[in-house]
Homo-oligomer: A and B are copies of this chain.
């Protein structure tokens, strides 16, 4: 008994040859209305489902995907999306998809353009980009469209109005601010104060930081029941221990009811380290990302919550989306926000395991 319905079976059932069935399936034309009707009826009746293995094997086309993102030796954060891309890459190789990585200096717009140019000189079918430089990214995307190259965005979202712009995979900054607010609101008692603190240089230019700030403030303005006060601060010179200490002392004496701080980036560990040195333990701390330094203070119970933005999945999902588009012609959701995992000392272990335990092969 033949388990599965094959093209051959359809052909037999419809009284045509498999060539005709193939033409119908792929809409290649040159099929009479009558034959087409019979083939479709047979497919319906026998519940035909194509065998992807055989299809891919026979199609025998190889696709090339280029990735374009900041050098991760410079900023270690990017190692995570990259790792996700690599995992996905080994996974999609059997589908005839080849992934080639290009890197640029994360602080030099020019270098983005250089790497982009390099990609444009090769032959590729799609690119996965972290478009962190607005202007340069726009130029690159324009070029992609001119060369009929599909593209997806990770981490940073730039609005593009083109059929070649396939998707964005990344964080939901606003909602992560809301989430942090909720956590602090839960942990603080009435009349106490929560603070949002930026430890980055150019906050005003960083849309995602402002989004987080907005989410944080919106939450508290909508939840006044506990009468939590909120505050906002910025400090850049985290490397300068004396300055940092002075800043903290000043802040604490100015806000005696301060009990919780939300740091808007992965740099929370700087604060945790400084507080540890100063032996301050009455502050509840919330921040981002499972990088080693943060994990250290999470274990030490100096940090209470780390919001995990699933950076590996950004890369993983990005590649998989592109391959779904190229190989299976399946379109993916335009905006894909990754889960905001609430990570604590007590459940961190699971999030540190291999990101993708769902994958199928080595």
Write the residues of chain A forming the contact surface with B, with a CB cutoff of 8 angstroms.
Answer: 3-4, 49, 51-54, 56-57, 62, 91, 93-95, 98, 175, 178-179, 182-183, 186-187, 189, 219, 284, 304, 313, 316-317, 320, 323-324, 328, 330, 336-347, 349-351, 356-362
Contact = CB atoms under 8 A, between A and B. Distances in A.
A178 B57 contact: no
A123 to B, nearest CB: 13
The quantity of this chain's copies bound in the complex is 2
Contacts of A343: 342
Given A182-B345, A187-B187, A351-B339, A328 B361 contact: yes
Contact of A186 (B94, B284, B320, B338): B284
Given A219-B346, A339-B347, 5 more contacts: A53-B56, A182-B345, A186-B284, A324-B360, A328-B360
Nearest to A88: B358
A53 B95 CA distance: 8
Contacts of A49: 93
B51 A94 contact: yes
Contacts of A219: 346
A310 to B, nearest CB: 9
A350 B328 contact: no
Contacts of A313: 358
B62 A53 contact: no
B344 A350 contact: no
Contacts of A53: 53-54, 56-57, 94-95
Contacts of A360: 91, 320, 323-324, 328
B187 A358 contact: no
A95 B346 CA distance: 38
